[in-house]
Structure 1
Amino acid sequence: MTQHSTETPQFFLTAPSPCPYLPGQMERKVFTHLVGEKASALNEILTQGGFRRSQNIAYRPACEACKACVSVRVPVDQFVTTRSFRRVLDKNVDLIGTRVDAAPTSEQYSLFRAYLDARHSQGGMADMTVLDYAMMVEDTHVDTMLVEYRFRGPDTAITGQGDGPLIATALTDLLSDGLSMVYSFYEPGYTDRSLGTLMILDHIRRARKMGLPYVYLGYWVEGSKKMAYKARFRPQQHLGPRGWEPAA
């Protein structure tokens, strides 16, 4: 069994592989393991420095010929809810998100599987099994949670929880300065509801309510249609050579 130091993180570089966002480009990543008692603290420092988390690994792009991946975060107190965003909220007024422990369920995996099959059947996660999903959710040493979205029921006003089938789910890390959205998925049959947008709006609301200044959205990649939606959440900050700065 490979042992990883919990005191001083070691960083590794992946071999070049085809970029999933920009055709014709090759990607490399630098990564380290998030293990031990200091995993949450390290994850926080690295997230603030432009890394993303996948299970017990934190990574960021380290491409030699391309700097297109830009870390994005939304300052929640400055965020502007546009008319378009208000329409999304109005469409989904019958849904409610509930925070639950990061524990995988068969219902979550069924939704996750339907989402991948409909939206990312050729992606790198397409072959994930139920065990892979369970590892993604619970194989971590950091402070994380799930937010499950369901339709409101007759007892929602009392319990604060939804009723009926699972509609969407977000895996989210809790940081001292914000919420970092690790991965989200939703029922592909509800395309008219813009559920991906809804979950980001809900996380902005949650962060504001929790007194946290930022929601971390991961990477925006100029020229990638897959990542174009992130540019809509403004104002936002981008991580550059001088640190986090307002996006142009």
Structure 2
Amino acid sequence: MQSIQIGLTKEHPCSYLDGQKERVAVAIDPKMQTAENYEILLANGFRRSGATIYKPYCKHCSQCQALRVDVMNFIPSRSQRRVINKSRHLRFELKDRLDSEWFSLYADYIAKRHNTGSMYPPDKKEFEHFASCPWLQVNYLHIYDEDKLIAIAVMDVLPDCASAFYTFFDPENSLSLGTVAAIFQIEYCKLAQKQWLYLGYQIDSCPAMNYKVRFHPHQRLVNQLWRG
């Protein structure tokens, strides 16, 4: 990857690991703010929040590892096949904007699943700022049970890959909707002939992230090399 300008944030308490400090490197070169260049940055361990492109750059910790699923060779596990069978009645639609009822679903999800996190209390404008990006095609994979909206996966669609950005769903639904959303995103990527689906950062010691390693085959970025 070509050399790019980065800026470093100040250290602050880690959002995922107790007792750890985190900081990130931010790509500040505006020339990198295109779909093609962002795809290169994704392959080098960067992600985005809103229009900001960042990468963990912690002094004393390197547990965050970017993870991507090999879309065309994906084979669901036994438990994932059970989820697929239980959710055959569901359907998804990829849209370039959110359905009008999205916020009530999001607010219920945050209130019941993440009421101690940084996104509580749920705020419509804050989420729109967090999810949107003026220089990127952001899509919203809507999942329906008949005509009822039960989940939305925010998804960045790029020339040769896609990035799973954020998912929220009906917290009272008995199906494993987080897994369903990831499987549907893989299904979309297959149809669109995308090579990779990026699932964000994996931290092995953070139980909330361990669902990612259940998607096979996948690769992790370790010391700037993708390893299967």
Normalization by structure 2: what TM-score? 0.92
Give the match for residue 4 of structure 1: none
Query: Shift of residue 173 of structure 1?
Result: 0.6
Correspondent of 2:105 among 80, 105, 111: 111
Which letter does structure 2 place at the counterpart of 1:224? C
Distance 1:32 1:89, change over 3 A: same
Distance 1:138 1:87 in 2: 33
Which letter does structure 2 place at the counterpart of 1:126? Y
Distance 1:222 1:180, change over 3 A: same
Ranges of 4+ aligned residues in structure 1 off by more than 6 Å:
none
Which moves more between the two structures, 197-206 or 32-41?
32-41
**Ranges in structure 2 where 5+ consecutive residues have no aligned partner:** none
Map 1:92-171 → 2, pairs under 5 A = 92-101=87-96, 103-152=97-146, 163=147, 165-171=148-154
Q: Any idea what SS the aligned residue of 2:194 has?
A: coil
Map 1:1-248 → 2, pairs under 5 A = 10-32=5-27, 38-101=33-96, 103-152=97-146, 163=147, 165-190=148-173, 192-246=174-228
**Ranges in structure 1 where 5+ consecutive residues have no aligned partner:** 1-7, 153-162
Query: Shift of residue 149 of structure 1?
Result: 0.6
Q: Any idea what SS the aligned residue of 1:212 has?
A: coil
Distance 1:34 1:149 in 2: 36
Query: Shift of residue 35 of structure 1?
Result: 5.6
Q: Any idea what SS the aligned residue of 1:77 has?
A: helix
Distance 1:58 1:37 in 2: 9
Distance 1:126 1:47 in 2: 28
CA offset digits 1:192-238 (Å, max 9, x no partner): 30000011111111111111111100001011011111111112101
Which moves more between the two structures, 234-243 or 130-139?
130-139
Normalization by structure 1: what TM-score? 0.85
Query: Shift of residue 122 of structure 1?
Result: 1.1
CA offset digits 1:157-189 (Å, max 9, x no partner): xxxxxx2x3100011011222110011110000
Report the count of equivalent residues: 226
The sequence identity of aligned pairs, in percent, is 33
Which letter does structure 2 place at the counterpart of 1:169? I
User: Is contact 2:35-2:159 (8 Å) kept?
Assistant: no
Which letter does structure 1 place at the counterpart of 2:103? Y
Give me the CA root mean square deviation.
1.9
Which letter does structure 2 place at the counterpart of 1:176? P
CA offset digits 1:39-70 (Å, max 9, x no partner): 22232121111111111011111011011001
Query: Shift of residue 145 of structure 1?
Result: 0.6
Query: Shift of residue 135 of structure 1?
Result: 2.0
